[in-house]
Amino acid sequence: MSQVAAALGLHPSTVTVLVDGLVAHGLVSRKADSRDRRVIRVTETTKGRRNHERHTAMMRARVTDMLSDLSDDELAQIDASLRILRDAAARYNVRTGQAPLARDNQ
């Protein structure tokens, strides 16, 4: 939980409450680590994975629709801006010692 809290910039007690809610909805499960009893592994359940995939598909469709009437030049500007933002976030992570988020490398 402490690693998740650090990655999200949240207090561990906040993450515990959030994970409790996800567990209650059957979206994730908690398991003790077999090698280190102090470590709790949080993993996505099948229900959680399906929910995540459905949400991702809906958001991709929404963004695709939103961008559908933009010109190639406008799309290129957005792409360039997002690359600048990604690089700035990476530099920030290095400067502050923040752990990069799972998708920071894309």
Lowest mean pLDDT segment, chosen from 21-25, 51-55, 91-95: 91-95
Cα distances from 71 to residues 67, 68, 74, 77, 81, in angstroms, run: 9, 8, 5, 10, 15
Which CATH class, in words, describes the domain spanning 2-69? mainly alpha
pLDDT digit string, tens, across residues 27-49: 999 999 889 988 889 999 999 99
Instruction: Evaluate if residue 8 carries a pLDDT over 60.
Output: yes
* For the chain, percent of residues with pLDDT exceeding 90: 69
Cα separation, 66 vs 71, whole angstroms: 12
Supply the pLDDT for residue 103: 53
